[in-house]
Amino acid sequence: MLVEPQKSAKVAHAYEAPDYYQLDGLLTEEHLLIRSSVRSWLNEHIAPYINDWAQNNQCPTHLVKEMGELGLFGPSLPEEYGCPGFDEIAYGVIMQEIERVDSGIRSMCSVQGSLVMYPIYKYGSEEQKRRFLPLLAKGELMGCFGLTEPDHGSNPGGMTTHFSDEGDHYLLNGAKTWISNSPFADIAVVWAKNPDGKIQGIIVERGMPGFSTPEIHNKWSLRASTTGELVFEDVKVPKENLLPGVTGLRGPLGCLDKARYGIAWGAMGAAMDCYSTALRYASERMQFDKPIAGFQLQQKKLAEMLTEITKMQIFTWRLGTLMNEGKATTAQISMAKRNNVDSAIHIAREARQILGGMGITGDYPIMRHMMNLESVITYEGTHDIHLLITGMDITGISAFR
Amino acid sequence: MLKILVCISHVPDTTTKIQFEGDGSKLNKTGVTFIINPYCEYGLSRAIGFQEEGKKVAITALCVGGPEVEPTLRRALAIGADDAVRINADATDAGFVAKQIANYCNGKEFDVIFTGKESIDFNGSLVPGMLAEYLESSFVSYATHMDIADPESMTAQVKREVDGGEEVMEVPLPAVISCQKGIAEWRIPNMRGIMGARKKPLSVVSPNESLELVATVQFSYPPAKGNCQYFQPEDVSKLVDSLTNKGLV
Ligand SMILES: Cc1cc2nc3c(=O)[nH]c(=O)nc-3n(C[C@H](O)[C@H](O)[C@H](O)COP(=O)(O)OP(=O)(O)OC[C@H]3O[C@@H](n4cnc5c(N)ncnc54)[C@H](O)[C@@H]3O)c2cc1C
């Protein structure tokens, strides 16, 4: 049961987006309008409550429809399926704004847009697209993405979830874990081995007998997003629910490219919020008769944070233009995801120290960002795995096994 | 079909730190974010409200200004205006602006013209009254409510706040209505609206010759805040003493 929490004045602070190199000049008027609109909505509907939701481990599922109305789900998918049809930079800007408020809310949107809608758009039949995409875009259906299994995390190719062909339907067996949105999702895009042992996507719908979605409890991270399992015990799935467009690991990996690109922007948003909070606090907090922002050690932290943020901004902007041209490679996206999440975690840790004891409270967003980013650095390919991807790309030798 | 014109002024964001250029006669616009004047935005929201009530409406957003105001008009289109017009001239003098808008309205037969009760930049509250005068139409200022129960009747029901109460009026259309808080809620453009705004027409028209009657010579900052002295609620007598000593009571 979701209780309506108290508005927390301090958390709904006046956020100022750092833009040291006038990089807003690289965005179009439309990107800026998108950003200010999304920011206004978040400031009104999410930011004042997010601390309470995270503290109470509540996911604001009651806002899913409104998020759909606003257009946060699948913003770069085409208009003919009920999506806005923006470019990839607009998508990035939206993810950045959402994660500036909370990585959990951004995860909810990334999963829906990049891991549920995108595979249906990219690998689905025309009928599947028409049936699911407009409802997913509007938030009338919520989806989740099942790739990770209890025994196969970094190595999804080893998955054991599989389906057999029973003539007029498929029979699905296996289990997925660590699945964002699973406890309340209406549909799941599940990656499983087909009768030939090849990985293929299949849409499983809530209510199908044998399909359950237990929640994972006790998380210290992404507490405003729900995570769970997907359990399939002889689930009969209609044949028309199989995604016909792709077989093999490149199916799920193609979606991950899209989501990881969004994460590169998103993590930067969390970092910007930490920096903006720390800068404001340091300018106001007096110790030894002067603002702590006047001490060299604090200036070093702030100056380095802003330098890192500026680098991330350039990085993601260029990656966005490559995405728009369809030229971004998986390895390039890996590099940005890895770098930006890592930088964001460092910034969060430094920013938290600037706030001293206040930094550990929910009155400020930093500790929440810091804990959230521990998930972000792990999911969608761990920090290590992305390094191995870059390593393989530059040497031509796989160090995975 | 109700034809509605929403006059939009392009103003610095409410949180802007105001700075002037050298001689103090102009705002320094570097780094300033501009927005739709919030009171004008009430008018836009009210206009869209008519559409949601099932009335047939055509909403035109208009701004007098240079090319820099186009993002503001684009935002109005994203929120729901059907088309936008920019009168290509600097909006400095209220009389000039009202004349330009009146001139544009000529022959267009707008039924309702919404403006803000004032622009939050110069706070003149002058344009709406002048505009109504030029158009020889009815005028209600500071409207907190507006309905058109029956579009065929060509009358609007309008409320405005008056000292200690509310004034309820019926006015014939066409009417100029200057909007105040209460008439509608602001709307945040959604992503589909922003995409849709790309395809909506934004036309630029040349200003007609008309005199600027007032020129700003100089702006000055308000005097710096003096030192504040705080008194606890239980120390009322100290407050009275202090005021007495200063000869203020
Ligand atoms: C909050 C949350 C939400 C998630 N949401 C989803 C979701 O919606 N859908 C989904 O499918 N999954 C989801 N995941 C799962 C996530 O993608 C996996 O946790 C991640 O891929 C890592 O897998 P693992 O946890 O099994 O770790 P492991 O693969 O067991 O890795 C453990 C450690 O070993 C390292 N390691 C593994 N292999 C190598 C190697 N070859 N060389 C060097 N080091 C290696 C890793 O880097 C890591 O540090 C989510 C996870 C979390 C925490």
CB-CB under 8 Å, A29 with B191: no
CATH superfamily ID and name for A23-138: Acyl-CoA dehydrogenase/oxidase, N-terminal domain (1.10.540.10)
A145 lines ligand 1 (CB under 6 A): yes
pTM equals 0.92
Mean pLDDT of A372-400: 97
Architecture of the domain whose range is A250-395? Up-down Bundle (1.20)
Please tell me which residue of chain B has the smallest CA distance to A44.
B188
CA angle, A277 then A280 then A283, to 5°: 145
Q: How far is the CA of A110 from the centre of ligand 1 (A)?
A: 17
Tell me the best of A112, A255, A379 to mutate to test the pocket of ligand 1, counting ligand atoms within 8 Å of each CB and taking the most: A379
- CA dist list (Å): B235 to B227, B230, B231, B232, B243: 19, 10, 6, 5, 13
Give the least confident one: A22-36, A216-230, A283-297, B25-39.
B25-39
Which protein residue has the closest C-alpha to ligand 1 atom 44?
A: A384
A44 at B interface, C-beta within 8 A? yes
CA of A383 to the centre of ligand 1 (A): 9
Question: What pairing do the DSSP bridges indicate for beta strands B138-147 and B155-162?
Answer: antiparallel
For chain A, give every domain's residue range.
Answer: 23-138, 143-241, 250-395
The closest residue, in CA terms, to atom 19 on ligand 1 is A379
Determine the distance separating the centroid of ligand 1 and the alpha carbon of A157, expressed in angstroms. 13
Distance CA A157, CA B96 (A): 71
Subunit contact A30:B75, Cβ cutoff 8 A: no
A148 Cβ below 6 A of ligand 1 = yes
Binding site membership of A175 for ligand 1 (Cβ less than 6 Å): no
Domains of chain B, first to last: 2-245 (3.40.50.620)
Q: For residue A128, what are the CA distances in angstroms to A217, A340, A383?
A: 33, 35, 34
Task: Order across the sheet with B57-64: list the strands.
Answer: B165-172, B155-162, B138-147, B175-179, B112-116, B2-7, B57-64, B83-87, B202-205
| CATH architecture assigned to A143-241 | Beta Barrel (2.40)
* CA separation for the pair A67, A41 (Å, rounded): 9
Q: How many CB pairs under 8 A join A and B?
A: 45
**A328: its two tokens:** 């971004």
The CA distance from A1 to A146, in Å, is 26
Calculate how far, in angstroms, residue A381's C-alpha sits from the geometric centre of ligand 1. Answer: 6
Q: Kindly give the distance from the C-alpha atom of residue A106 to the centroid of ligand 1, in angstroms, as a whole number.
A: 18
* Per-residue pLDDT at A14: 61
State the virtual CA torsion across B58, B11, B184, B147 in degrees, nearest 10: -50
User: Inter-chain contact A71–B188, Cβ cutoff 8 Å?
Assistant: no
Contacts within 8 Å (CB) and 24+ apart, B136-139: B137/B113, B137/B174, B137/B175, B137/B176, B138/B171, B138/B172, B138/B173, B138/B174, B138/B175, B138/B176, B139/B175, B139/B176, B139/B177, B139/B178
pLDDT(A4) > 80: no
Please tell me the predicted confidence (pLDDT) of residue B17. Answer: 83
Chain B residues with beta carbon closer than 8 angstroms to that of A79: 192, 195
Q: Is A325 a catalytic residue?
A: no
Best residue in B191, B192, B200 for a mutation probing chain A (most A CBs within 10 Å): B191
User: What pLDDT, in 10s, does the model give residues A280-318?
Assistant: 999 999 999 999 999 999 999 999 999 999 999 999 999
Say which of A30, A32, A41 has its CB closest to residue B188: A41
CA dihedral (B19, B23, B27, B28) positive or negative: negative
Set of chain B residues whose Cβ sits within 8 Å of the Cβ of A72: 191
**B161 vs A375, residue with greater confidence:** A375
Which residues in chain A are contacts of B75 at CB distance < 8 A? 33
Kindly report, residue by residue over A161-203, the tens digit of the pLDDT: 999 999 999 999 999 999 999 999 999 999 999 999 999 999 9
Pairing relation of β-strands A187-193 and A143-146? parallel
| Sequence letter at residue B115 | T
Tokens of B122: 């110069």
**How far does the CA of residue B27 sit from the closest CA of chain A (Å)?**
21
Which of A97, A308, A350, A380 is the catalytic position?
A: A380
Give the per-residue pLDDT at A101: 98
CB A194 within 8 A of CB A173: no
Q: Which of residues 77-96 of A touch B (CB under 8 A)?
A: 79, 84-86, 94
pLDDT digits (tens, 9 = 90+) for A147-166: 999 999 999 999 999 999 99
C-beta separation of A195 from A165 below 8 A: yes
